[in-house]
């Protein structure tokens, strides 16, 4: 790994790294926040944060104001990029923001030319955790969270890998991508026209499953002034599926909040505390 930068913050360290990804066949960048507890020989659990469309590893780390809360609870934060990047990595031919670079949707693509590089599901669930646990003083306990497209990723990855994580949370997630324009464009482009392949990347469809290895705690926050709420996010679909399946989901709607990092920074403290209860259980 190549260290790109490091900054002291709230007694811990924020660091950015570049490494060669085997699953994405390109260089990938990620950021990690290591709280001060590691300096006392303690291995800390990890919260993986998945960002939304157009973002990279820097957006959350610079805008969410998470470091104090992570230090308070002794949790490391890992923020990967949202997609592969670099020379030779396929992009939307028209340069659209909702597909291609910055819009990996946390799937394993099967369609050319994206299948070679766009394997973000395997990157998040396998390659990156192995790298983190090998090179940093972290434990194997981890939780997952995200925003918008990243909320979609957090929910689908957490539901499909419930033995690997302790908890799931999301801000304004895309919960039913098979039924919204962003999701339909991404899933058809990355996975093709066979819609049965889309279902494993749709949180609402996954929530309809009748059995899980275990039911993880789930927390979702949504602003009711979110400009994407009705057309793209549709949280009611997910909540209805959860209710029918007897799956308790902690959901809060917040008056006047939109889709921005102003919203995330307002409630990130509660999300860190939520995950801390699960990660720090004996």
Q: Domains, the chain, ranges and CATH?
A: 2-279 (3.40.50.1820)
What percentage of residues in the chain have a pLDDT greater than 70? 99
Does the pLDDT value for residue 210 go beyond 80?
Answer: no
> How do residues 10-56 score in pLDDT, each as one tens digit?
999 999 999 999 999 999 999 999 999 998 888 999 999 999 999 99
- pLDDT average, residue stretch 165-193: 98
Does the pLDDT value for residue 282 go beyond 60?
Answer: no
Residue closest to 83 by CA, chosen among 131, 118, 50, 111 = 118
> What pLDDT sits at residue 112?
97
Query: Is residue 259 among the annotated active site residues?
Result: yes
Does the pLDDT value for residue 198 go beyond 80?
Answer: yes
Q: Give the distance from CA 210 to its chain's centroid.
A: 24
> What pLDDT sits at residue 40?
82
13: exposed, middle or buried (C-beta count within 10 Å: 0-12, 13-18, 19+)? middle
Q: Which of 21, 51, 143, 148 is catalytic?
A: 148
> How do residues 103-161 score in pLDDT, each as one tens digit?
999 999 999 999 999 999 999 999 999 999 999 999 999 999 999 999 999 999 999 99
> What pLDDT sits at residue 280?
87
> How do residues 73-85 score in pLDDT, each as one tens digit?
999 999 999 999 9
Residue closest to 172 by CA, chosen among 113, 105, 96, 257 = 257
Q: Which of 14, 73, 226, 275 is catalytic?
A: 226
> What pLDDT sits at residue 250?
98
Does the pLDDT value for residue 274 go beyond 70?
Answer: yes
> What pLDDT sits at residue 166?
98
> What pLDDT sits at residue 209?
83
95: exposed, middle or buried (C-beta count within 10 Å: 0-12, 13-18, 19+)? exposed
- pLDDT average, residue stretch 183-207: 97
Query: Is residue 226 among the annotated active site residues?
Result: yes
Three-class secondary structure of residue 201 per DSSP: helix
Q: Which of 14, 259, 271, 275 is catalytic?
A: 259
pTM of the model: 0.97
Residue closest to 11 by CA, chosen among 31, 33, 44, 43 = 33
Query: Is residue 179 among the annotated active site residues?
Result: no
> What pLDDT sits at residue 247?
95
Angle at 82 between CA 182 and CA 16, to 5 degrees: 160
Residue with token string 């918008």: 148
What percentage of residues in the chain have a pLDDT greater than 90? 95
- pLDDT average, residue stretch 57-71: 98
Residue-averaged pLDDT of the chain: 96
């Amino acid at each position: 790994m190549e260290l790109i930068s490091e900054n002291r913050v709230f007694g811990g360290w924020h660091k950015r790294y570049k490494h060669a990804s085997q699953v994405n066949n390109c260089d990938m960048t990620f950021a990690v926040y290591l709280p001060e507890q590691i300096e006392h020989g303690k291995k800390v659990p990890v919260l993986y944060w998945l960002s939304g469309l157009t973002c990279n590893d820097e957006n959350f780390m610079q805008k969410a104001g998470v470091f104090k809360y992570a230090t308070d609870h002794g949790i490391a934060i890992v923020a990967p990029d949202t997609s592969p990047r670099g020379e030779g990595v396929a992009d939307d031919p028209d340069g659209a923001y909702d597909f291609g670079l910055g819009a990996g949707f946390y799937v394993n693509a099967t369609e050319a030319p994206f299948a070679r590089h766009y394997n973000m599901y395997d990157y998040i669930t396998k390659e990156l955790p192995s790298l983190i646990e090998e090179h940093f003083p972290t434990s194997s306990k981890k939780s997952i969270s995200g925003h918008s497209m990243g909320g979609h990723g957090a929910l689908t990855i957490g539901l499909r890998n419930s033995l690997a994580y302790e908890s799931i949370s999301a801000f304004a997630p895309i919960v039913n991508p098979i039924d919204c324009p962003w999701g339909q464009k991404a899933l058809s482009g990355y996975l093709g026209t066979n819609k049965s392949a889309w279902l494993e990347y749709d949180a609402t469809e996954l929530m309809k499953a009748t059995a899980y290895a275990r039911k993880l705690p789930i927390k979702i926050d949504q602003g009711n002034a979110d400009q994407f709420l009705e057309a793209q996010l549709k949280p009611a679909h997910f909540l209805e599926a959860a209710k029918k399946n007897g799956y308790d989901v902690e959901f809060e709607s917040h008056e006047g909040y939109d889709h921005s990092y102003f919203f995330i920074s307002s409630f990130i403290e509660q999300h860190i505390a939520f995950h801390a209860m699960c990660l720090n259980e004996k």
